[in-house]
């Protein structure tokens, strides 16, 4: 862009530069300073074309901590104070799930671009309405599915796109650990949301036909702390997700089986997160039952080097770019819609103890 | 026993010894010499109070191989030839699943004790009838759930019995690898049968209330090669089993969560198969929603040394003991009945894509 | 201490409190803001009874970064400016190894307590002189052997002290990775220094009798990037240390064999850093050569939960405590002396390609 | 060869086939039926062109066990009885180390080809004499360095030969476990012998310039149970070997660093024995000391699929082929000479506590 400016008359160039500088420095307000909020502040603050101008939280101590680290940021006790400002271009919501719909709606209607922590909202209906408002207002509505910005998940998507994996046969993901019970939402809204967003991304939005889910609560609250989700499709792919808050060890392991290769993505591994197996099987059609044959293939294993940049910085950049250049973010509202739709169906299926919910 | 004989009159003692030796040397016939059969021959042959007198298989090469290693064993081309002999006390069936019911029935009715490879038969009805026949004929009917005779599983049962684990909260077992498609039966009859038998054993037969299962076939046969089973109970325990024939790596991992401790049993580990975690959580009843509190406990980990004897030798000994001393084997027909009942329900549930089947 | 003050007359109490607050708030100057310096600033700043009042570095950017985070800290371009100040109680040196002796000497002579990054200096002679000066001036001289303040190393020391391990038989430590060549000093001054300090600590300063070391340089500089050190003692203990800057993977693994138990300390493990093996062997004296017998014992394994506090905070606290309460720090100048003496001998032995250097 | 026979006149062909069958069926005698001997019997018996005709051991039970499994094999109480027979073509010695020289000498002088368990003998002088006798008698003298016949070691040799690794920078091998004390020879003759033979093979006999070794005995016998060997060369390669009989865990791990790539060979891993790291460093010559620069490279990792055949079968085949076709075996007497020469030097160096022994 600097090149173009060189060819403009001097006065025009100056005005263009001023406009660019004004436009380029996106003014961000961040709502919610719990666990994730300060990370958002830090990453948005590291961008060259955006700055965090204000934050909101009901907790004064959290506000004070931000103020001491970033004296230029203004602090507010409520989201509404940020949403109603005209000198804020975009709002980032890192608040509890149940507030997402209402705050995002208000922000969009107040002419703000909106980035929402995962999950985007609590139901297909809520997300659908938010998307309509965003489109009507011409604003970016994006969800923070952070894993889509990791080197590991991007690598898998690349392998899928290039046909390295072949036809997808199965996706089996386990995400368990001890801790972080959420008193409002079952474990799938906290953990399976990651696996579902990864699945949706690496398959470029493969359409889910039905959901069967099971789970249990070990407290007196009707909130499942262990849950299992199976996704059915219109072909013979299957996806399964295990979520638990009461495992003695932390496991983040995803097996992806294709007709050509298989991948194991182990996010707990510090350096060898992705292993690509040149293994598989092919079926020869039997003429007689007992001649039915399978050929197995056990081959080399390949561990690619992955990009190491912080995923959340990628989220911040993608949101900013979507606003400024009109691009579609990787973790866009369609991703948010797909994930919430499945979570809602899974929750319903768990009530029916595995009952199939068609989508 | 030898001591008692010392006090008998000489003639009586001799007769007693003859009777004992006759009785003690159990004559075993083994049917089916595929993958598992030769292991059964070897282990039963190592016993002091049993000997394999005959084997049957339709494949002449297999018979020849046994003959060359054990010249004293007689070989037959059909199971019937063994079953109909009067000088055989017990029959071991290592034949395809679909033959179990018929062969076991014949053998029992021909006055033989019967040990059947897992699974015992293909339905609750079949197993129930076999049990009735066994009881009517006064014969031992046992199933070879081999894992119940491993040091690892026995250790877990011990921990459960002694109250070390506390109330069972969940059981989550994964058994996957590449290979060994069976053209007749889905993966759950091949792999989940192990997890179900382990579960049944370590919980001393905890009653299952319902089953929800999902799965998929990647061949043209209606035989699932990946499957997921959830078991519901009359309390808030949950059990889940993952089975797959198309994983690039072999995984045999069982997580067992209790109110006091948690256990991870990893059968792929050569020496550290069982880890006992002094970890857990306890819930304090909340007065207000946002005060709802969980206390997490992360403590020491303990890896017990395990017995190393071959499990199948334990099976052979337990079968022999059950016949000769009238004891109840660990892997008894009730264990077989429970496992088959769940497998049958799971197969039905998979047809209904997760539909709950009550038991 | 607050309790005592309650019993003093009011005026005395106030004066006492003022004195206490003056005395308690130790004024720290930190020299060297490379890799480790900012961590020292952060940890000393978190103490309640010390504050970092000034820092020095020749690099303006580094100074500016500290200033922006800690506006109250004064910044200087040279160590001398800090050392010569009278309102500084203690100086922390995080400068290159070759400067340690001179700067520490100046600081001690200027009436400062001194904490030096490992290694304390470059020779036994230098350290001995520094200790003499410190004792003459009545000042604390301490070295930052950080690992002595980790939960893992403290646990091992505890096991040794309580006799759990029995007589030490061997200590075998490997510390290798790819990177961080130092153009001035061989790898042992960078990596083996940790293993030696850990050995010295867990054995409570076991006297080394001799050193044999080997190594090689893969650059044109006479600086070994791979080195192996063997320590001999006056009994049949042996210690061995492997150091390398050119390993494709990071390994930090220490095996400790005792007559009762053995320990493996793997610092790369996130949660299971220490495994205690109830394994060992005992020798029965042979009457005849071929009857010479060893009994092996393979027993349980135990993984204790470890303290998780940041080690460097422990260093900062221990240094402060030593100054204010006159206690002896864990990582004291004797620890520094022992380690430097062995490093110097090892360097000499490497020149002689393994030649034994007695100590 | 069968093809050639097709073109011969019928009578000639028959005679040729008879001669071939006579010649091809090499008659092997195996001496020593301890741990390794029965494995040798089994593998030589599986060959198509050799058969084990007799075995010798002083222990009657061991002989009886062989007899019961292989009724055709003749058994003898002493090695001499086998060596003196004229109907034995080759002798395999699996006896204690101290007997190797004398038995091998006798066998060669009695016109037998000889395969000796590692190590070939106890000194450079002994091996040199055996080689002279073998050459004079025109007989094959081979040592059983089993690892040279594994898929893993052959793969590494292939990578070295093809230049994939680049110039060798270091070789660092650890072989430790609990157990198997040998009352006659230090641990290096039992364990380091493997590492040395692997090193010699993958470097195609790289000439060693000097040896420095350290070690200790924890028994009253002057037999080191822990030992460390460093090899120096005429370039800046270094090799180091760790051997121990008193480690609580079994470790078999070899790091091989080259100027292009690095390899980790972990023999304890069931399936991923070899990892090839596209990692390394290159040095740019400095103009000034502080500008001295190293470029690090962290790249992909590749795990090749390896051949799975039993190594000892490869040994048996290679010995037979060497006899019948006059080829040079992989594990030839030069390999045996190199390894024994270094072991002898290392033993001497240990006496001098690391003293360099030039070779």
> Which residue ranges form the domains of chain C, and what is each CATH number?
2-144 (3.40.50.720), 148-312+339-358 (3.30.360.10)
**Subunit contact A296:B178, Cβ cutoff 8 A:** yes
Counting every residue, how long is chain A? 359
Check residue D184 and give its pLDDT. 74
Predicted local confidence at residue A181, as pLDDT: 66
Chain A nearest-CA distance from B218, in A, is 6
pLDDT of residue B14: 61
Averaged pLDDT score across all residues of chain D: 91
Instruction: Give the model's pLDDT for residue B180.
Output: 63
| C298 interaction partners in chain B (CB closer than 8 Å) | 305
Contact assignment for A302 to D305 by CB distance below 8 Å = no
pLDDT at D311: 96
| Residue C14: other Cβ atoms inside 10 A | 12
Q: Which range has the worst mean pLDDT, A227-236, B335-344, C290-299, D180-189?
A: C290-299
Torsion of CA D150, D156, D159, D161, to 10 degrees: -80
- Yes or no, beta carbons of B305 and C304 under 8 Å apart: no
CA distance B218 to B197: 27
Question: To 10 degrees, what angle do helices B193-202 and B333-351 make?
Answer: 130
Residue-wise pLDDT tens digits, C80-110: 999 999 999 999 999 999 999 999 999 999 9
| Per-residue model confidence (pLDDT) at position A220 | 78
Strands D274-277 and D301-303: antiparallel
Q: Is the model's pLDDT at C353 over the cut of 80? A: yes
Distance between alpha carbon C180 and the CA centroid of its chain, in Å? 19
pLDDT of residue D1: 42
Whether residue B315 contacts residue B178, with contact meaning beta carbons closer than 8 Å, is answered with no
**CB-based contact C298 B305, cutoff 8 Å:** yes
pLDDT-derived band of residue C2, with 50, 70 and 90 as boundaries? very low
| Predicted complex ipTM | 0.91
| pLDDT for the residue A68 | 84
Contacts of A302 in chain D (CB under 8 A): 300-303
Q: Of chain D residues 297-316, which have a CB less than 8 A from chain C?
A: 298
Four-point Cα dihedral C336, C341, C342, C347, nearest 10: 120
The residue assigned the tokens 């004390």 is D181
Six token digits for residue D200? 């010699």
pLDDT at D191 over 70: yes
Q: Which two tokens stand for residue C45?
A: 């700043």
H helices of B36-150, in order, are 37-45, 60-69, 79-83, 97-109, 124-137
Note whether B34 contacts A: Cβ–Cβ < 8 A: no
Chain B contacts of C305, Cβ < 8 Å?
278, 298-301
B293 pLDDT above the threshold of 60? no
Chain D closest-CA separation from residue A305 CA (Å): 5
Measured CA angle at B255 (ends B253, B260), to 5 deg: 155
CA distance A299 to chain D (A): 5
Touching check for C222 and chain D: CB below 8 Å?
no
Say if the Cβ atoms of D300 and A300 lie within 8 Å.
Answer: no
Which residue has tokens 């998780």? C308
State how far the Cα of C46 lies from the Cα of C40, in Å rounded to an integer. 10
**Taking all residues of chain B, what is their mean pLDDT, rounded to a whole number?**
91
Residue C295 is predicted with a pLDDT of: 66
Backbone angles phi, psi at A221, to 5 degrees: -85, 145
Nearest to C226 among D217, D238, D292 (CB): D238
String of DSSP letters for D170-189? EEEEEEEEE----SSS-HII
Size (chain B), residues: 359
Q: Could you give the percent of chain B with pLDDT greater than 90?
A: 79
User: CA-CA distance, C85 to C97, in Å (whole number)?
Assistant: 23
Q: Residue-wise pLDDT tens for chain A (359 aa)?
A: 445 556 666 666 665 555 555 556 899 999 999 989 999 999 999 898 999 999 999 999 999 999 988 889 999 999 999 999 999 999 999 999 999 999 999 999 999 999 999 999 999 999 999 999 999 999 999 999 999 999 999 999 999 999 999 999 999 999 999 876 666 789 999 999 999 999 999 999 999 999 999 999 988 788 999 999 999 999 999 999 999 999 999 999 999 999 999 999 999 998 899 999 998 876 655 444 444 456 677 899 999 999 888 999 999 999 999 999 999 999 999 999 999 999 999 999 999 999 999 99
What count of other Cβ atoms lies within 10 Å of the Cβ of residue A14? 12
Spatial distance between the Cα atoms of D150 and D268, rounded to a whole number of angstroms: 13
Chain B residue closest in CA terms to A261: B248
- Confidence at residue D291, expressed as pLDDT on a 0 to 100 scale: 41
Asked whether the beta carbons of residue C248 and residue D262 sit closer than 8 angstroms, the reply is yes
Tokens read off for A21: 């500088």
Sort out which chain A residues have CB atoms less than 8 A from D300's CB and list them: 302-305
> Which class for B51: exposed (0-12), middle (13-18), buried (19 or more C-beta within 10 A)?
middle
Report whether B223 contacts B183 (CB < 8 A).
yes
Structure tokens at A67: 């103020």
d(CA D105, nearest CA chain C) in Å = 25
Q: Is the pLDDT of residue C293 over 60?
A: no
Cβ separation D301–A298 shorter than 8 A = no
DSSP string across D295-337: EEE---EEE-----S-HHHHHHHHHHHHHHH-PPPTTBHHHHH
Burial (CB count <10 Å: 0-12, 13-18, 19+), residue B204: exposed
Tally helices (H) and strands (E) across chain B.
12, 17
**Cα nearest neighbour of C301 on chain B:** B303
In this prediction, residue B219 carries a pLDDT of 82
- Kindly report the nearest CA distance between residue C224 and chain D, in angstroms: 10
* pLDDT, average across residues B208-228: 93
SS3 of residue A170 by DSSP: strand
Whether the pLDDT of residue B288 is over 50: the answer is no
Judged against a pLDDT cut of 90, whether residue D155 lies above it is answered with yes
Per residue in D230-254, pLDDT tens? 999 999 999 999 999 999 999 999 9
The separation between the first and the last C-alpha atoms of chain D, rounded to the nearest angstrom, is 46
Confidence (pTM): 0.91
The CA–CA distances, whole Å, from D169 to B312, C342, D203, D279 equal 50, 26, 11, 13
**Is the Cβ of C170 closer than 8 Å to some Cβ of chain D?**
yes
Q: Say if CB A136 and CB A108 are below 8 A apart.
A: no
Q: What is the mean pLDDT of chain C?
A: 91
**Which subunits sit against D, judged by 3+ Cβ pairs under 8 A?**
A, C
pLDDT tens digits, one per residue of D274-331? 999 998 876 655 444 444 456 677 899 999 999 888 999 999 999 999 999 999 999 9
Q: Are B235 and B259 in contact (CB under 8 A)?
A: no
**Stretch C28-34: mean pLDDT, rounded?**
96
- Say yes or no for a CB contact (<8 Å) between A210 and B353: yes
Q: Within 10 Å of residue C114's Cβ, how many Cβ atoms?
A: 29
Q: How many CB atoms lie within 10 A of CB B215?
A: 27
Angstrom distances, CA of residue C134 to CA of A351, C83, C105, C319, C333: 73, 15, 8, 14, 10
pLDDT band at C222 (very low <50, low <70, confident <90, very high): confident
CB contact under 8 A, A298 and B169: no
Using CA atoms in the order A190, A195, A199, A200, what is the torsion angle rounded to 10 degrees?
Answer: 10
Label residues D182-219 b or e (16+ Cβ within 10 Å = b): beebbbbbbbbbbbbbbbbbbbeebebebbbbbbbbbb
Evaluate whether A118 touches A104 at the Cβ level (below 8 Å). Answer: no
Beta-bridge mates of residue B91: B29, B114
Comparing CA positions, the residue from A32, A39, A44, A107 lying closest to residue A77 is A32
Spatial separation of the C-alpha atoms in residues D168 and D174, rounded to whole Å: 18
Distance CA B308, CA B172 (A): 24
Closest Cβ–Cβ partner in A221, A237, A356 for B354? A356
As beta bridge partners, residue B256 has: B171, B263
Residue D35 banded pLDDT, cuts 50, 70, 90: confident
Chain C residues 234-293 with a CB less than 8 Å from chain D? 236-238, 240, 242, 244, 246-249, 255, 257, 262, 264, 277, 279-281, 283, 285-286, 289-290, 292
Long-range CB contacts for residues C62-70, cutoff 8 Å, separation at least 24: C62/C33, C62/C34, C62/C37, C63/C33, C65/C33, C65/C38, C66/C33, C66/C38, C66/C41, C70/C41, C70/C45
């Amino acid at each position: 862009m600097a090149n173009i400016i060189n060819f403009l008359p001097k006065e025009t160039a100056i005005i263009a530069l001023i406009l660019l500088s004004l436009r380029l420095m996106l003014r961000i307000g961040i709502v919610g300073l719990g666990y994730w909020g300060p990370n958002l502040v830090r990453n948005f603050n590291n961008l060259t074309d955006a700055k965090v101008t204000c934050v909101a939280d009901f907790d004064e101590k959290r506000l004070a901590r931000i103020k001491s680290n970033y004296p230029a940021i203004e602090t507010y006790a409520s989201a509404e104070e940020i949403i109603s400002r005209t000198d804020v271009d975009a709002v980032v919501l890192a608040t509890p799930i149940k507030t997402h719909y209402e705050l995002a709606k208000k922000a969009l209607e107040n002419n703000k671009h909106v980035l929402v922590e995962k999950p985007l909202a609590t139901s297909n209906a809520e997300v659908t309405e938010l998307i309509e408002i965003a489109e009507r207002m011409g604003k970016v509505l994006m969800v923070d599915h952070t894993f889509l910005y990791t080197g590991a998940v991007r690598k898998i998507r690349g392998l899928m796109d290039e046909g390295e994996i072949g036809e997808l046969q199965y996706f089996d993901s386990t995400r368990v650990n001890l801790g972080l019970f959420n008193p409002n939402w079952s474990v799938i809204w906290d953990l399976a949301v990651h696996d579902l967003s990864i699945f949706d991304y690496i398959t470029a939005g493969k359409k889910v036909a039905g959901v069967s889910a099971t789970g249990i609560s070990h407290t007196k609250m009707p909130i499942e702390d262990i849950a299992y989700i199976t996704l059915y499709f219109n072909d013979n792919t299957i996806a399964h997700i295990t979520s638990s808050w009461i495992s003695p060890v932390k496991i983040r392991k995803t097996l992806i089986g294709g007709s050509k290769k298989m991948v194991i993505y182990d996010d707990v591994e510090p350096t060898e997160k992705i292993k690509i197996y040149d293994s598989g099987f092919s079926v020869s059609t039997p003429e007689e039952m007992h001649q039915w044959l399978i050929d197995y293939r056990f081959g080399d294993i390949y561990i690619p080097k992955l990009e190491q940049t912080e995923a959340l910085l990628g989220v911040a950049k993608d949101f900013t770019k979507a606003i400024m250049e009109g691009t579609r973010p990787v973790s866009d509202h369609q991703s948010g819609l797909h994930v919430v739709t499945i979570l809602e169906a899974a929750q319903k299926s768990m009530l029916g103890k595995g009952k199939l919910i068609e989508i």
